[in-house]
């Protein structure tokens, strides 16, 4: 029979290789929240509670490497929502992932969460992906945001897309209700002081037929990790095909270096509804090469986004946190094995 010490070491080894997450508190609607149950036209058809018009629909991806971040993001959304029971999550995962395990993890930490899982065909999009400046950006799941209109039920007309490396400190309903104007397909914070030309190669700008893409458009950089998307308008304009056409061109002529962002800029740059910067305090992960610590942008904060190479959970585990990583810690649901209560 193995010694007690050997058994303890075995348990520690198993625990280290299987991350588990704590159960989050349950959050309830405030008294003035609208009843989303009144929205159902056919309750029998929509028994998964996915088609409530007055709900706030949130789309995210689920990936093993970023699951810890996703769990923290979900907790932050619920904790700061005035109507958390009206928030419905749509999680997209790789078709090769263990969907049962993902569902069990979510259900354990958020027993009352309204959500659905959607498998994403990695192989179909892989043929369109070109290598970028950082290998993590080449993950097929990074491109799932371009396919939300195809993946989500057609009854979902508007969705807030969120990356997994962020937390909200404000009510997501405010962001979800942002006006898209008469014809914009999506809304996001714009950063017109950024060097827009740097997102494309000299080959792009030296080719008149390509550079004219932005003629008569005041195109500015925007971060695709936080977007409000009108899925009805997206479907009507077949914007997934438009994005894929740019990706196919990229395979023949290298016109950009940075993953899934440039096709969005090519299709939507200068054509989006602008959102206050407070809704995407991005870049907290540092640059894509070294991941250096960064400070917040000036102004108020509703959402903190660790875009870039450095992720708060990785820096905390390595005992090399940046100062702002402390703001992420309260939302971390990772269960520490064999912790001793004080």
Question: Do the domain assignments include residue 20?
Answer: no
Find all residues with CB under 8 Å of 30, minimum gap 6, and list them: 82, 83
Question: Do the domain assignments include residue 92?
Answer: yes
Question: Do the domain assignments include residue 203?
Answer: yes
Question: Do the domain assignments include residue 181?
Answer: yes
Query: DSSP H helical segments within 83-121, as ranges?
Result: 99-109
Find out whether 221 and 265 touch, Cβ atoms under 8 Å.
yes
CA 333/CA 110 separation, integer angstroms: 11
Which is nearest to 164 in space by CA: 241, 264, 66?
A: 66
Domain count, the chain: 1
The token duo for 81 is 């929502």
Question: Do the domain assignments include residue 114?
Answer: yes
Question: Do the domain assignments include residue 245?
Answer: yes
CA 131/CA 184 separation, integer angstroms: 30
What integer pLDDT is reported at residue 45 of this predicted model?
44
Long-range contacts of 108-111 (CB under 8 A, 24+ apart): 108/21, 108/23, 109/21, 109/22, 109/23, 109/24, 109/71, 109/75, 109/333, 110/23, 110/24, 110/74, 110/75, 110/78, 111/23, 111/26
Question: Do the domain assignments include residue 287?
Answer: yes
Find out whether 48 and 99 touch, Cβ atoms under 8 Å.
no
Q: Look up tokens 């290298």; give the residue.
A: 254
What integer pLDDT is reported at residue 226 of this predicted model?
98
Find out whether 149 and 234 touch, Cβ atoms under 8 Å.
yes
CB-count exposure of residue 232 (10 Å: 0-12, 13-18, 19+): middle
Question: Do the domain assignments include residue 24?
Answer: no
Beta strands in the chain (DSSP E): 56-62, 87-94, 114-120, 158-162, 166-168, 186-191, 221-222, 226-230, 273-275, 303-305
Buried b (16+ CB within 10 A) or exposed e, 192-213: eeeebeebbbeebeeeeebeeb
What integer pLDDT is reported at residue 132 of this predicted model?
61
Domain that residue 232 falls in: 56-331
Which is nearest to 74 in space by CA: 160, 141, 15?
A: 160
Per-residue pLDDT tens listing for the chain (342 residues)? 455 444 444 444 334 345 799 999 999 999 999 888 765 555 444 445 688 888 999 999 999 999 999 999 999 999 999 999 999 999 999 999 999 999 999 999 999 999 999 999 988 788 887 766 556 556 889 999 999 999 999 999 999 999 999 999 999 999 999 999 999 999 999 999 999 999 999 999 999 999 999 999 999 999 999 999 999 999 999 999 999 999 999 989 999 987 889 999 999 999 999 999 999 999 999 987 777 899 998 999 999 999 988 999 999 999 999 999 999 999 999 998 655 443
CATH number of the domain that residue 326 is part of: 3.90.550.10
């Amino acid at each position: 029979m193995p010694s007690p010490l050997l058994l303890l070491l075995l348990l520690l080894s198993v625990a280290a290789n299987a991350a588990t997450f704590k159960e989050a508190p349950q959050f309830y609607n405030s008294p003035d929240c609208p009843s989303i149950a009144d929205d159902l036209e056919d309750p029998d058809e929509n028994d998964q509670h996915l088609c409530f018009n007055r709900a706030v629909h949130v789309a995210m991806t689920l990936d093993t490497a970023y699951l810890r971040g996703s769990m923290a993001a979900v907790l932050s959304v619920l904790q700061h929502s005035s109507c958390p029971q009206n928030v419905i999550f749509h999680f997209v995962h790789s078709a090769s992932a263990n969907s049962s395990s993902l569902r069990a993890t979510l259900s354990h930490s958020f027993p009352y969460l309204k959500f659905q899982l959607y498998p994403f065909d990695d192989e179909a999009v892989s043929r369109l992906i070109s290598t970028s400046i950082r290998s993590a950006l080449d993950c097929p799941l990074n491109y799932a945001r371009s396919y939300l209109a195809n993946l989500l039920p057609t009854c979902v007309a508007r969705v807030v897309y969120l990356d997994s490396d962020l937390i909200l400190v404000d009510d997501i309903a405010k962001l979800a209700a942002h006006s898209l104007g008469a014809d914009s397909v999506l809304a996001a914070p714009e950063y017109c002081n950024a060097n827009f030309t740097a997102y494309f190669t000299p080959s792009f700008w030296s080719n008149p037929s390509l550079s004219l893409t932005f003629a008569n458009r005041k195109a500015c950089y925007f971060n695709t990790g936080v977007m409000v998307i009108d899925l009805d308008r997206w479907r009507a304009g077949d914007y997934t095909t438009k994005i894929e056409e740019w990706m196919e061109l990229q395979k023949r002529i290298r016109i950009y270096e940075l993953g899934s962002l440039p096709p969005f800029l090519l299709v939507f740059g200068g054509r989006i509804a602008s959102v206050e910067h407070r809704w995407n305090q991005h870049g907290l992960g540092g640059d894509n090469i070294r991941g250096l610590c960064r400070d917040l942008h000036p102004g108020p904060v509703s959402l903190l986004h660790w875009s870039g190479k450095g992720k708060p959970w990785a820096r905390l585990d390595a005992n090399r946190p940046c100062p702002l990583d402390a703001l992420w810690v309260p939302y971390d649901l990772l269960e520490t094995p064999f912790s001793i209560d004080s």
